Amino acid sequence: MPLDKAATKEPTFTLIDNRTGQNWNFPILSGSLGPDVIDVRRLYAETGMFTFDPGYTSTASCESTITFIDGDEGVLLHRGYPIEQLAAKSDFLEICYLLLNGELPTKVQKKEFWKGITYHTMLDEKLKSFYQGFRRDSHPMAIMCGVVGALSAFYHDSLDIHDPEHRQLAIYRLIAKMPTIAAYAYKTAVGQPFISPRNELGFAENFLHMMFATPCEEYKVRPKVARAMERILVLHADHEQNASTSTVRLAGSSHANPFACVAAGIASLWGPAHGGANEAVLKMLNEIGSKNRVPEYVKRAKDKDDPFRLMGFGHRVYKNFDPRATILRESCHEVLDELDVGEEPLLELAMELERIALQDDYFIKKKLYPNVDFYSGIIYRAMGIPVSMFTVIFAIARVAGWISHWNEWIQEPEQKIGRPRQLFTGATKRNFVPISQRR
Ligand code: SDX
């Protein structure tokens, strides 16, 4: 619904400058769910002032119809469907279709979409030679950034962002090739030959097959493990205007091609404050080592002078349980049972850490709960996936959200390049000093 058609509530929001007594009125806009917004698009033109909101804690950067989060209630909807239902009943390709098109696919639409994805899973043979240039110990996220950005050097028939057919092709290629690019990054690290995608396999099954199969024997992905991976991909597919999605939108606002925009999103996701947290959680649990050391680390997390934070805890939006963490905690037990992992000390440790933290006043007052990254790593580990691949799997899933938001933005009637301003507190104008006169 274009903003100017949004229901505009009376009265508008009045701003008063108590230095001059001047006041201005700005429209209040309402969406279908969530907080109203103050439309400040005319603020600078009318007042000569900017808003100031580093980290965008109180800023709506766009209008979107894709995902809604209610942080206080722990609600996550994709096109209106609760994440709990999607995780239990749908699969990743359906979620991709839903995020992109706004509705769950019919049987015919799903078959068409599946075909569009399946027949784009292979990589150009020349692109595969990229991997020869990476060191064995390259972080797979470094490889993902490089190879995904390079897709625009190969697929010239899907670079014109104003051509719907080019856009559709780029969307198919990005969703389809991320698992292949990821699996080849893993094979590079373990020195094994690349395994081609198989058209008869499901999406998650295909990825796990490319990860763990070798040319030496048949490899069958366990159906329950494939199902668990499908559910993990569904849970990580999209999450409103998070840092990496906002990065993709900002890159898209300059009309960069979709492959370059997604490469920027991968770079942003890599940070331990964002998608890199799943890797950081495993490192933290290994460092804590045993239940009796949990109080020591909880104490450190509360210490202002200690940079240590409980990784996998806290969230900018959720001030309640992240619904995805709740689902993943249940999945942990299922996958560990399926894989006969038996007692997983890290899971015991994670649950003890959660129990102690959630009883602690500091975490209660600051509303810090486990987020999506707290349990996912334990499931990946049980599947035999190395820690360095954890954020890569997050990227495989999140490309669905990134490209859906990119696609939504690129069709915005009122497209503007994203160009924030600043509060300048640096040196005021002064004249150049020749080096002979500098002290
Ligand atoms: C993801 O945005 C998304 O939707 C992201 C995501 C998605 O699907 O895209 O959900 C995925 O990125 C999940 C978050 C993964 N990151 C982590 O688990 C890293 C650990 N958590 C944080 O660093 C932190 O909680 C953030 C980055 C997630 C949120 O940071 P905010 O909203 O900017 O909050 P903040 O850093 O200002 O923290 C508020 C207070 C601070 O204390 P005060 O300065 O108010 O005294 O809470 C404290 C923080 O010190 N705090 C923590 C903490 N997280 C916040 N203290 C200890 N341990 C933590 N984990």
Tens-place pLDDT, residues 64-76: 999 999 999 999 9
- Answer whether residue 8 shows pLDDT above 50: no
User: Would you tell me how many other CB atoms lie within 10 Å of the CB of residue 192?
Assistant: 15
Tokens of 103: 């509705």
Tokens of 161: 């962002």
pLDDT tens track for 281-316: 999 999 999 999 999 999 999 999 999 999 999 999
Ligand 1 pocket test, pick from 53, 316, 353 with the greatest ligand atom count within 8 Å of Cβ, gives 316
Provide the pLDDT confidence category of residue 273 given band limits of 50, 70 and 90: very high
Q: What is the mean predicted confidence (pLDDT) over 360-389? A: 92
Q: Which pLDDT belongs to residue 335?
A: 83
Q: Which residue has the tokens 């050391």?
A: 293
Provide the pLDDT confidence category of residue 1 given band limits of 50, 70 and 90: very low
Contact 413, 2 (CB under 8 A): yes
- Answer whether residue 179 shows pLDDT above 60: yes
Strands 23-29 and 8-16: antiparallel
pLDDT tens track for 82-131: 999 999 999 999 999 999 999 999 999 999 999 999 999 999 999 999 99
In sequence order, what DSSP letters do the residues of 13-58 get, joined into one string? EEEE-TTT--EEEEEEE--SSS--EE--TTHHHHHS-----GGGTT
Tokens of 264: 């920027």
DSSP structure class, residue 195 = -
**Catalytically active residues, by annotation:** 315, 373
Atom of ligand 1 nearest to the CA of 313: 60
Measured distance CA(27)–CA(47) in Å, rounded: 15
Contact 104, 98 (CB under 8 A): yes
Helix (H, G, I), strand (E, B) or coil at 273: coil
Q: Whose CA is nearest to atom 5 of ligand 1?
A: 242
Q: Whose CA is nearest to atom 41 of ligand 1?
A: 366
Sign of the dihedral through C-alpha 59, 238, 335, 207: negative
Q: What is the mean predicted confidence (pLDDT) over 402-421? A: 94
Lowest mean pLDDT among 259-263, 358-362, 402-406: 358-362
Atom of ligand 1 nearest to the CA of 362: 56
Q: Which residue has the tokens 């198919």?
A: 172
405: Cβ below 6 Å to ligand 1?
no
* Distances in whole angstroms, Cα of residue 191 to Cα of each of 132, 144, 197: 11, 17, 18
204: Cβ below 6 Å to ligand 1?
no
> At 284, which amino acid appears?
M
Q: Which pLDDT belongs to residue 301?
A: 93
Ligand 1 pocket test, pick from 77, 309, 311 with the greatest ligand atom count within 8 Å of Cβ, gives 309
Tokens of 191: 């020195």
Q: Ligand 1 centroid vs 262 CA: distance in angstroms?
A: 23
The CA angle 211-217-222, to the nearest 5 degrees, is 55
User: Would you tell me how many other CB atoms lie within 10 Å of the CB of residue 70?
Assistant: 17
| Mean pLDDT of the residues in the chain | 94
301: Cβ below 6 Å to ligand 1?
yes
Give the range with max mean pLDDT: 201-205, 276-280, 341-345.
Answer: 201-205
Instruction: Cis check for the bond before 11: say yes or no (omega within 30 of 0).
Output: yes
Q: Ligand 1 centroid vs 56 CA: distance in angstroms?
A: 14
pLDDT tens track for 198-226: 999 999 999 999 999 999 999 999 998 99
Q: Which residue has the tokens 């009125």?
A: 25
309: Cβ below 6 Å to ligand 1?
yes
- Answer whether residue 4 shows pLDDT above 70: no
364: Cβ below 6 Å to ligand 1?
no
Atom of ligand 1 nearest to the CA of 309: 58
| Alpha carbon 229 to its chain's center | 16
Q: Could you tell me what percent of the chain has a pLDDT over 90? A: 88
Q: What is the 3-state secondary structure (H, E, C) of 313-381?
A: ECCCCCCCCCHHHHHHHHHHHHHHHHCCCCCCHHHHHHHHHHHHHHHCHHHHHCCCCECCHHHHHHHHH
Backbone angles phi, psi at 14, to 5 degrees: -100, 130
Provide the pLDDT confidence category of residue 154 given band limits of 50, 70 and 90: very high
- Answer whether residue 5 shows pLDDT above 50: no
Q: Which pLDDT belongs to residue 352?
A: 92
Q: Which pLDDT belongs to residue 333?
A: 82
372: Cβ below 6 Å to ligand 1?
yes
Measured distance CA(424)–CA(336) in Å, rounded: 53
Ligand 1 pocket test, pick from 366, 390, 391 with the greatest ligand atom count within 8 Å of Cβ, gives 366
Q: What is the 3-state secondary structure (H, E, C) of 111-131?
A: HHHHHHHHCCCCCCHHHHHHH
* Distances in whole angstroms, Cα of residue 370 to Cα of each of 239, 267, 321, 345, 375: 16, 24, 7, 18, 8
Q: Which residue has the tokens 């691949």?
A: 389
Measured distance CA(404)–CA(86) in Å, rounded: 17
319-342 burial string, b = 16+ CB within 10 Å, else e? bebbbbbbbbbebbeebbebbeee
Measured distance CA(214)–CA(231) in Å, rounded: 25
- Answer whether residue 399 shows pLDDT above 90: yes
315: Cβ below 6 Å to ligand 1?
yes
Residue 360's contacts (CB-CB under 8 Å, 6 or more residues apart) are 298, 302
pLDDT tens track for 18-64: 999 999 999 999 999 999 999 999 999 999 999 999 999 999 999 99
pLDDT tens track for 159-175: 999 999 999 999 999 99
